[in-house]
């Protein structure tokens, strides 16, 4: 049975004081998490150890880096390697977020390198994919997302692909207040699963968690997460509001 996952992406937000308050709120809350339902907190890099320390009391609350570099180590000032992340006990890393693709020019092939080194060090990639508005309007979103998967993930073995979490994020719905309808989300998640099944088989495809990311709110979470191929969410702005994100986790 595939895991349900709610991942918080704080992006470049929060002072140390705010991070302390948020993490304390999540650590002390009654959360619907267990071996099959986990919450992951992708915090800014300076807060990774703080988050580990604050959330240590609940084994189903995990910490993720928001990015990593494609090399093990070296003269790459300002970058963070998976070797460093592994050394401080980080288990997850967000890769290929649309903001990394758009603002920093990260290509599918470059992301494949990041996927490889993350898996080499035993860190689980939360691999983001999704289409911009013009692709959605042209109704070519399925092929667009399939290409992202094929060029970044499909070199992996079945064992490797089974260690990936996928996050589908319609770029037109990130930070805009717009949300894909439950039907649109389900259709894309089902398409992603079918593309994986065509390459690796249905059994493997049915084991992979596929999250929805794009202005997820507590008010819509229950119905969204009830869709058969939606296994949770990658949550941005709402994850910075403790009460809101607690409701989303418990949905």
**Would you please indicate which residues are annotated as catalytic (active-site) residues?**
97, 169
Among candidates 152, 149, 242, 170, which has minimal Cα distance to 213? 170
Pairwise CA distance, residues 222 & 31, whole Å: 15
Pairwise CA distance, residues 127 & 118, whole Å: 11
Helix (H) or strand (E) run with residue 5 in it: strand 4-9
Q: Tell me, rounded to whole angstroms, the distance of Cα 160 from its chain centroid.
A: 17
Give the Cβ contact number of residue 249 at 10 Å.
Answer: 25
Largest CA distance in the chain: 48
Q: Are 212 and 181 within 8 A, CB to CB?
A: no
Residues β-bridged to residue 6:
39, 233
Counting DSSP H helices and E strands in the chain, the numbers are: 12, 8
């Amino acid at each position: 049975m595939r895991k349900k996952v709610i991942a918080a992406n704080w992006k470049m937000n929060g002072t140390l004081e705010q991070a302390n308050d948020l993490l304390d709120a999540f650590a002390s809350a009654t959360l619907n998490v267990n071996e099959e339902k986990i919450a992951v907190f992708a915090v800014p890099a300076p807060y990774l150890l703080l988050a580990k320390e604050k959330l240590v009391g609940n084994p189903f609350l995990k910490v993720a880096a928001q990015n990593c570099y494609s090399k093990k180590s070296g003269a790459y000032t300002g970058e963070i390697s998976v070797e460093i992340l592994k050394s401080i006990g980080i288990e997850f890393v967000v890769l290929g977020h649309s903001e990394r693709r758009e603002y920093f020019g990260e290509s599918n092939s470059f992301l494949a390198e990041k996927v490889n080194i993350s898996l080499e060090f035993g860190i689980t990639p939360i691999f983001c994919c999704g289409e911009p508005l013009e692709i959605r309007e042209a109704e070519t979103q399925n092929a667009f997302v399939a290409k992202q998967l094929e060029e970044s993930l499909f070199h992996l073995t079945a064992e490797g692909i089974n260690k990936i979490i996928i996050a589908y994020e319609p770029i037109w719905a990130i930070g805009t207040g717009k949300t894909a309808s439950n039907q649109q989300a389900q259709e894309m998640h089902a398409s992603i699963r079918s593309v994986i099944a065509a390459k690796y088989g249905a059994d493997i495809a049915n084991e992979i968690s596929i999250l929805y990311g794009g202005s997820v709110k507590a008010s819509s979470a229950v119905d969204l997460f009830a869709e058969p191929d939606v296994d949770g969410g990658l949550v941005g702005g709402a994850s910075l509001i403790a009460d809101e994100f607690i409701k989303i986790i418990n949905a």
